[in-house]
Amino acid sequence: MLLKRESVYNKIILRRGVVGNDCDGTPLLINGRGEAYRVNDTAVSLWNMCNGITFDDLFLEVLRISSGEENDVRKSLEQMVRKFQKIGVIELRDHRYPHI
């Protein structure tokens, strides 16, 4: 049985975890379990934007500062949000019930 992936659309994106640096200065995203993931500055900037914003608003903000095509930006952003969710540095909440 295939599990349907949760849609990132119509969701509020909330940051979880913290940002740190590796001993060589490489940025790290650290989830609530203390697991650290090496990332680049762009990923940290994107993570910092996930402060209760909806996916659509995040997309519009990224599109505004991007030089990419709209469909490419949307697809890349969706992939990044899914990766952030998978490693536990963001949480997706239904925008109709954000406190649940």
Q: Cα–Cα distance between 34 and 10 in angstroms, integer?
A: 29
| pTM of structure | 0.84
Q: Read off the pLDDT of residues 31-78 as tens digits, 9 standing for 90 and up.
A: 999 999 999 999 999 999 999 999 999 999 999 998 989 999 999 999
What CA–CA distance (Å, rounded) separates 39 from 69? 24
